[in-house]
Chain A
C-alpha cells in the first residue's frame, strides 16, 4: 500500500510528514478518582484515572522509602477493529503497563509518600496507532490533575521513517505497514532528556538522529497542548473557588 505520496508530499490521511493528528484532552473527567484525564490523538482515545497516594492495600507491596506505583492497562473489548477481549494480564498489556511504570517512576517525587501507593488505571477506549504515546501523555495529564508532585512533564510521541523522510505520529495503517521502522520516545520537557525509547524494527544508525530530533520537537508541541489544558482547568478552578 502506498502510505506516502512523494509527489504530493502527503500521507494516507492527508497529513504532511511532520504533522500531528488532532489532539483533544481534558482533565478531571471521572468522579470518584483523585485525578483523571481523557486524551484523544486522532482516533486513539484514552481514559486515565488515578487513585492515591493512599495506604497500600497490600502490606507486602509497600516500600518504606518510596511510593509504590501500580499501573494497569485495561483494553476495552470494543476498542479494536475486531472485537477482542483482552485480560489485563495479557502479555502486551503488561508490557505497556511496565513501560509506563518505568517512565513515571523517576519523575514522580516518590520519597514524599513512603509506604503509600499510587494506582494508575489506563483504559484504552479506541485504538488507531500510537497507543503507548497516547497512554503516556494521558497519564502525565492525570498525574498532574491529581496533584502528584513530579519533577517534569513527560510527553511522548511515535515517529517512523518512510521513503527517506522521517515521519511523526504514525496512525495504525502506517504502523502496520511492514517496512516502516517505528520509534516511540518519551521526553522530559525541561531537561530535554529521553526517558523512554522503543524501537521495534531495524533502522540504520545514521537515520536515528534526524528521527529523534523531529520527535523531540513533536514532544515539545504536545507539551504546549497539555500545559495549556492544565493551566485552563486550574484557572477555572481558582476562579470558582475565590468567587
Chain B
C-alpha cells in the first residue's frame, strides 16, 4: 500500500490505496486526490502516460469515449432522438433532425444498431452517430454480450471470418455475429449519409449539402434500415452458431476477443459438433489445445477453475478462525 519503494505503485492496486505522493502527477480515471496525494478509487492496474496516472479495471461497466465503436439496442424512440441501451451507465442518444413522424421508420425499439460515439456529455451520456454506410442497423444474425473489458479499442472492430461470418465487436461488450456482408471500409465519406441522417452537430462539422436534408431516404439507403433478413443457408447458420459458441467460451474463460483468439477458437472447435461446444469437457479441450506456446497448462488450470471453482480452494479453508493479537 505504501509507496516507499518508488514514487509510484506498480501492479495491482486496490480501492483506497496510495498510488503516489509526488505532486507532479495528474489524476486520471480510477483515481482521486486527497491532501495532494493520489489514491486509487477502483481496483486494477496502474497505468501511466507521461504525468497522467490512471487505474484500469477489468470489471467495470462500459464508459464511452469519443470514437468508440459500439453495438447497442434501441430502448426508446423519442420525438427527436432514439435512446440506445449500450450497457453503459446512461443510455446513449442518437439524435436526428429528420421527419419526426417517421422516426420509427428508421429505428424501432429492440433494433440492434452499430454506431460510433460522437460526443460524451458531462454526465456520462453518449451521443452516437451512424454517419457511414457501414453503421446502422445490424441484421442477419444474433447478439451476444461479453465482459466489456474483453474488447479492446483497436483499429478494426469488424472481423470477417473466412467461413462467411462477420463479427462486430462493440467496445461496450455487445457483439453481433451475422452473415457476411460487404462493408465499405469504415472511414467512408461521411457526406453520403448526410443527406438524410443530418445530425445537428455533425452537419456543422462537415459542411455538406444541407439542401438535401429534407429529402427522405431513397432506395439506395433503405437497405440499411431494412428489417428483413437475407436468405441464410444452413451452413452459414451453423457457422454463425459455431462462432457464437466460441465467443461464449472465450468470454467465460475471460480471454480477450480479437481476430486471433476468435479464429483459433474457431479452428479448434471444428472437430466438434456445434451443440457439443458448450459442454464443459469439450470447452476444456478447446481451451487446452489453443495454439499458445507455454500457456496450455495455465489454460487447463483456468478452465478447471471455471468448471469446478477451485479458485476459492486455497489453504485458508483449513485455517479455522482468525485471531487478533
Report which A residues bind B (CB closer than 8 A): 15-16, 18-24, 26, 28, 34-35, 52-55, 64, 109, 112-116, 144-153, 168, 189-190, 214, 217-218, 221, 225, 227, 230-243
Contacts and interface: CB of A to CB of B under 8 A. Distances in A.
Given A26-B312, A150-B41, A55 B91 contact: yes
The prevalent SS among residues of B at the interface is loop
Given A16-B323, A116-B124, A144-B43, A52 B295 contact: no
Interface of B: 12, 14-17, 30, 32, 34, 39, 41-45, 57-61, 85, 88-91, 122-125, 149-150, 253-256, 292, 295, 298-299, 302, 305, 311-312, 314, 316-317, 319-324
A122 B85 CA distance: 26
A147 B321 contact: no
B254 A240 contact: yes
B324 A221 contact: yes
Q: Taking each of A28, A112, A168, which has the highest tally of chain B beta carbons within 10 Å of its own beta carbon?
A: A112
Given A114-B124, A145-B59, A236-B311, A21 B89 contact: no
Contacts of B32: 109, 149, 151
B42 A144 contact: yes
A239 B298 contact: yes
A227 B90 CA distance: 30
B15 A150 contact: yes
A64 B89 CA distance: 14
A125 B289 CA distance: 40
Contacts of B292: 243
29 contacts: A16-B323, A20-B322, A22-B321, A23-B322, A26-B312, A28-B59, A53-B61, A54-B89, A112-B124, A113-B89, A144-B15, A144-B42, A147-B59, A149-B30, A151-B16, A151-B34, A151-B39, A151-B41, A153-B14, A153-B15, A153-B16, A189-B16, A217-B324, A221-B322, A221-B324, A225-B322, A240-B254, A241-B150, A243-B299
Contacts of B15: 144, 149-150, 152-153, 230
A243 B124 contact: no
Contacts of A237: 58-59, 254
Contacts of B44: 147, 234
A218 B324 contact: yes
Q: Which 10 A-B pairs have the closest CB atoms?
A: A147-B60, A149-B41, A53-B89, A152-B16, A147-B57, A240-B254, A114-B123, A147-B59, A116-B89, A20-B322
Contact of A147 (B16, B61, B255): B61
Given A237-B254, A243-B255, A34 B61 contact: yes
Contact of A19 (B254, B311, B321): B321
Contacts of B253: 240
A42 to B, nearest CB: 9
B321 A21 contact: yes
Most chain B beta-carbon contacts within 10 A, residue among A53, A234, A239? A234
A109 B255 contact: no
A241 B252 CA distance: 11
Nearest to A15: B321
B75 to A, nearest CB: 8
